[in-house]
Structure 1
């Protein structure tokens, strides 16, 4: 194999593919990054039996061939090369990388032992990259991070015709985003539980083109596969991953909050106030929101050592007509900030039912407008000390 490729193109492609390499591969061969040159393209790929990543870039291919090298080492080298064309020449045992006056020699891994990458399933539909990336970012914040509870580390994708829904929960918070997309069939109905990390990486790294293609292949016994294809900075990128097995909890009903009190305020003002007040919040203790007629007050403390209080102007509505039935709520400050930062509107609507019950956050374009129905974020309130 003998190829020449631009340094920035190579570095970008290798860095992206190397992100999918396992930190602790079950077998050493999975630490390899596969390079296949043919025609006027080079295909770089990685696979760990769960997730595969492929990117095709344009190159001057003098001799076609396939080589397998240490992925992380190649990524470090590519990132450090000077801004000049890069020549890669591989024989049966080694690869030489030349860029300007810099030269590296890498031992090749046995490419014949490398597993075959899964085929991309047939496309289920397409969506614009910016819309998809924003939707995923709004939902993955609520996904769990405990690998011992894998079902909570996923995002549930639900497809009903031209509506795509994303739902995530870690048991203490939930996020739901519904958005339009272009299915290949108007009658398509499907559901899949996708690892949140893979979904986030896919949505963020394929924003250079006009659309992202989503391909879903449902299987029995946890053998389902989902694939994403779109354009990155320097080439077409593909990711496939096995779907998570297990029953996703039925949490949609928790989004149907019938509030006794609603609070509306400027999103940016609350974010800034929460950040300041949370500086003195003791670990695993709540940030207290005190609700008054025309404002809310945020409070936190670390015992007798430090206290913080800040008031924020708000529109408070008693939905029952019997006087404020709820005057204080306890939030995990990190969960509250994640939810507020996920909103993409100037104002936020809090819907409270009762102390210790779920609180629903929805986006508002105008302080006196209707909440947007496409995004809902629920936070389980913390119990306040008596």
Structure 2
């Protein structure tokens, strides 16, 4: 194997592949990437029991061939090289990486026994790249990567519905939902994809015209701009019934400028420690925001708002959860309210919003006792 390739393109692809590789493994092959030079393309691929990923990069191939090397070391070296042309040359003993006066040699892992990459499943449909990237980014804050007892909370559910595609995530304290258009072209089922892998591939989708999705009963595939990620699915039947958490009716709705609310929450949040909450005291035309039950420091701020349906309302939130919901909205935000102890629904103040964020409030013990 021998080829020449631009450092920036190969480093970016190798770095993306490396994010799929676990920090450690008993078998070194589980940490390896497979390099395949053929025609005018170098394919960098990784395969494990949970996920397979590959990226195709345009190169000048002098001699075709294959080699398996440590994926993270390969990516780290490429990232540290100057932005010049890189030459890769492999033989039976290793792979040389040369860029100007920089020369590295990587030892080979067992190429012949490297697991065969699974093919991309049959295509289910296509969605615009920028909308897909935005949707994944919007629901990602509600993914719970830490709960080992419920791994399905670490997933993002993708559910087709005619010419619409719904993405949803929940950590049981909030639910984030985004709906985007798509063009179905084959069979598709609701699929629960590992959130971390989906976030990684979605980051590359923003500049792409479209994203190809394969949603099958066993695996799901995402293809965008020469990058393919095939994931073992999480059990979608164990995903919480988050659809049923959305209230059918609301007591009132408060509307205000989203940037003004977010900036004020951040300022008042400087007073908070640990799990202390932000309290919103809402009247007909103003909202007072203050730190809840803070004995060391006090502070409050007031912003303009409009409250419809009721005269006054008080509710408290985890400030990070509240800010996560506001971050995906431009202009005016509407917050649908029921009671101080029941979830509030955050969305843009427009008809039929495509993004909705349901968040559980922080209950004040004094109010609960009364």
Q: Give the shorter-chain TM-score range.
A: over 0.9
> How far apart are the structure 1 equivalents of 2:146 and 2:200?
18
* Gap regions ≥5 residues in structure 1: 219-223, 365-369
The alignment's TM-score, normalised by the length of structure 1, stands at 0.91
**Correspondence list, 1:5-20, <5 A:** 5-20=5-20
Residue 48 of structure 2 corresponds to residue 48 of structure 1: yes
Residue 223 of structure 2 corresponds to residue 229 of structure 1: yes
Larger mean Cα displacement after TM superposition, 91-100 or 80-89: 80-89
> How far apart are the structure 2 equivalents of 1:138 and 1:209?
18
Question: 2:112 aligns to what?
Answer: 112
Q: Give 3-state SS (helix, strand or coil) of 1:214's partner.
A: strand
- Residues 112-162 of structure 1: per-residue CA shift (max 9 Å, x gap): 222112111011000111011111111111121224120111111111221
Tell me, yes or no, if the aligned pair for 2:276 and 2:294 is still in contact at 8 Å. no
Question: 1:160 aligns to what?
Answer: 161
- Residues 78-111 of structure 1: per-residue CA shift (max 9 Å, x gap): 1122232211111112111111111111111111
**Correspondence list, 1:193-232, <5 A:** 193-218=192-217, 224-231=218-225
Aligned residues: 364
Q: Give 3-state SS (helix, strand or coil) of 1:310's partner.
A: strand
Question: 1:240 aligns to what?
Answer: 230
Q: CA RMSD in A?
A: 1.5
> How far apart are the structure 2 equivalents of 1:202 and 1:175?
19
The alignment's TM-score, normalised by the length of structure 2, stands at 0.94
Tell me, yes or no, if the aligned pair for 1:257 and 1:353 is still in contact at 8 Å. no
Question: 2:303 aligns to what?
Answer: 312
Q: Give 3-state SS (helix, strand or coil) of 1:123's partner.
A: coil
> How far apart are the structure 2 equivalents of 1:80 and 1:102?
10
Tell me, yes or no, if the aligned pair for 1:151 and 1:244 is still in contact at 8 Å. yes
> How far apart are the structure 2 equivalents of 1:272 and 1:26?
48
Tell me, yes or no, if the aligned pair for 2:124 and 2:188 is still in contact at 8 Å. no
Structure 1 residue ranges, 4+ long, deviating more than 6 angstroms after superposition? none
Tell me, yes or no, if the aligned pair for 1:95 and 1:107 is still in contact at 8 Å. yes
Question: 1:299 aligns to what?
Answer: 290
Which of 327, 330, 336 is 1:341 aligned to? 327
> How far apart are the structure 1 equivalents of 2:279 and 2:207?
43
Residue 170 of structure 2 corresponds to residue 190 of structure 1: no
* Gap regions ≥5 residues in structure 2: none
Q: Give 3-state SS (helix, strand or coil) of 1:382's partner.
A: coil
Tell me, yes or no, if the aligned pair for 2:130 and 2:207 is still in contact at 8 Å. no
Question: 1:78 aligns to what?
Answer: 78
Give, in angstroms, the shift of residue 301 of structure 1.
5.3
Give, in angstroms, the shift of residue 379 of structure 1.
0.5
Question: 2:347 aligns to what?
Answer: 362
